[in-house]
Every structure is written in C-alpha cells, then in structure tokens.
Amino acid sequence: MICVEANFFYAILSIIVTACIILIIKLVERVKFKTLSGSHKATGVIIIIISIIETIYLAITLKLLASAIEVVTSLSAILLFFTFVYLNKLQNAISGMSIALGKRFNVGNTIEFEGEKGEIIQIGLVKTIIKIDGSNKIMLIPNKKFDEEMMIIDNPNFVNNYAQNGKITRANLNTTKNDHLH
C-alpha cells in the first residue's frame, strides 16, 4: 500500500515539474524568440517530446505499460527514424534559435554572403531572408550556414560589444592584411 502511495506521489510531482518546464519553455519563446518567425513550431515539438516522455514515465511509474513495452520500443524507433529524416531541418532550427539568442546580427544589418551583399529582412526558424542590394531579389540562407561558412556582417553593436568585453581590440579592427607584413 505504501509503495502504491509513493508511486502516486511521484506521479503527481512529475506532472507538476513537467507543467513548470512547459511554462518556462513558453515564457522563453515569448521573451527570447518573439522576433524569430516559426519558433512556435520548434517549441511545439519540444513540448510534444516532453509530453511523450512524461506519459511514458507515468505509465511506467503507475505500472500501466507492463504489457506494452513493444509499443514503446516501436515508437522510439519511429522517432529515431524521423530524427534522421529531418536532421537538416533540426540543425537549421537549432541554428535559428542560436541566432535569436545571440547578438551576431539582427534584422536590418547588412551582410555579404557568397558574393552577394544585402540587408537582413527576416530571421526565421530555419532560414534567414536577405534583400540583395540594388535589385528586387531576395536570398534565402539556411541558418546552419551562419555556423559553417565565412561571411561579412555589418553590425556595429556586435563589434563594439566584443571590443568592450576584451575579446578583440580596436587596434585589431583597424589593422589590414598588409599591416601584418611590415
């Protein structure tokens, strides 16, 4: 009898903790990701995964899954399959969240990427949209490219913050390649 009561106590405690985690995720989404279009999709997936894990935990704790272990194993295999299928989207989404949380660049900054220069007009969950200077064309850049490739970003606030934090010095900013040769 005591074991059953302890299991119910842990189940209730688990539900409360899970609800708090979901509320924190929603709060972070509203505060930190408010300018990141499509962030609700990523947080929705995270909440679904947390809910699935919580359901499995409750079923095990309350001994409801004793006969359905095969189903759980199959669902895990399916989840693993979809993770591999959508790995590229997942990488871009994580990079998009990193961009939203970081201060490398913002909407309105100028960027040069693959020989094209333009203004960032939207930062999405999986891609960033650039309006190319001097034309009516736009460039869609997958967000993971910002972690993988070299690009030039015109963001004075980012440079000033780095200089103030001691990560770079103003002397380094004013030095050209030819200055290193002398």
pLDDT of residue 76: 82
Assigned token pair, 14: 């688990």
Q: What sign for the dihedral angle of Cα 104, 109, 112, 114?
A: positive
In this prediction, residue 161 has a pLDDT band, given cuts at 50, 70 and 90, of low
Distance of alpha carbon 151 from alpha carbon 56, whole angstroms: 45
Closest CA to 169 of 177, 160, 178: 160
Question: Residue ranges per domain, the chain?
Answer: 2-85, 110-173
Q: What share of the chain is helix, strand, coil (3-state, %, to 5)?
A: 60, 15, 25
pLDDT digits (tens, 9 = 90+) for 43-85: 888 888 899 888 888 888 887 766 667 777 778 888 888 878 8
Mean pLDDT over the full length of the chain: 77
Distance of alpha carbon 24 from alpha carbon 44, whole angstroms: 13
Residue scoring higher pLDDT (134 or 166)? 134
In this prediction, residue 157 has a pLDDT band, given cuts at 50, 70 and 90, of low
pLDDT of residue 164: 52
pLDDT digits (tens, 9 = 90+) for 93-125: 888 888 877 777 788 888 888 888 899 999 888
Distance of alpha carbon 41 from alpha carbon 94, whole angstroms: 12
In this prediction, residue 148 has a pLDDT band, given cuts at 50, 70 and 90, of confident
